[in-house]
Amino acid sequence: MKNTFLWFFFLFLLWGNWVVWEEIEQGRGAKVVFFDIGQGDAVFLRTRQGHRLLVDGGPDKTLESKLFKELPFWSRRIDAVIATHPHQDHIAGLLPILESFDVASIIWTGVKYDSSVARAWEEKIKERKNDVTIAVFSTRVVMGRDILDILHPSESLEGQVPSNVDNTSLVARANLLGTKFLFTGDMFKDKEQELVSRGFDLTADILHVGHHGSRTSTDPVFVRAVSPAVAVIQSGEGNKFGHPHQETIATLQRYGITILRTDLEGDVVFRIKR
């Protein structure tokens, strides 16, 4: 009898903790974290109503420990994992997340790429095929009152073997309480220009700078179309590619855009309140 009471008491405490946590989370508004994850991309988004999303996972297992700090210890739920393209620096860190977190859905382009990490990713995707959405333009992720729209690719790339995987990068724009974030993976300038010429509304408050600040991305025409106040560059400290390149920094500075770099500042965090 005493044990039963203790169990109920324990469950009550757990439930109370959960309710309090949810209240605190919602009271804090939405949150977006660009992790300092070395040379790669990994972004965590939490809506005001508590939906949790990942855009890419970085080059190794680091994301796992980063996520533990963002989530309460009793909840490993991730509502959606979005992979922009199957390069190691974007998907390797997602593999352990698919193993040990409770991931509800996976959104990616379905392109083929020949590497051991990409093959491991495809295996995982096959096991989870009922939870997978192949992203194409006009796919919309609805998270309560917040949304995430897929702007690229324009048609399904499932099973295709592209000559430039970077250019197949999924482009997504999240709108959290009216603040817009644009993610472009490692898309090159020619594709950025194509998006502009298609007449999409690309405007965003925060631009996740393409390809870790490489000179291959961030075309001035594209930057003007997005017209962000802030640009975030995820690149590894002392990376062998020399990212971000000076040309990219100069382009962003020319338009008076505030630049935040994970290699210099660590995790870059945005809190959005209504």
Summarize as ranges the residues that interact with Zn ion (CB under 5 A).
89, 186
Smallest gap from Cβ 199 to Zn ion, in A, equals 27
Question: Residue 127 CB: number of other CB atoms within 10 A?
Answer: 11
Give every CB contact of residue 201 below 8 A, 6+ residues apart in sequence: none
Which one, 186 or 219, has the nearer CB to Zn ion? 186
Cα–Cα distance for residue pair 42/191, rounded to 1 Å: 22
Which one, 186 or 263, has the nearer CB to Zn ion? 186
Smallest gap from Cβ 45 to Zn ion, in A, equals 19
Smallest gap from Cβ 55 to Zn ion, in A, equals 12
Phi (first) and psi of residue 145, to 5 degrees: -90, 0
Cα–Cα distance for residue pair 189/199, rounded to 1 Å: 16
Which one, 85 or 173, has the nearer CB to Zn ion? 85
Question: Residue 65 CB: number of other CB atoms within 10 A?
Answer: 8
Which one, 79 or 186, has the nearer CB to Zn ion? 186
Smallest gap from Cβ 210 to Zn ion, in A, equals 9
CA-to-CA dists, residue 153 to 30, 40, 164, 182, 216, angstroms: 27, 21, 13, 14, 19
Which one, 83 or 195, has the nearer CB to Zn ion? 83
Smallest gap from Cβ 148 to Zn ion, in A, equals 20
Q: Are 42 and 66 in contact (CB under 8 A)?
A: yes
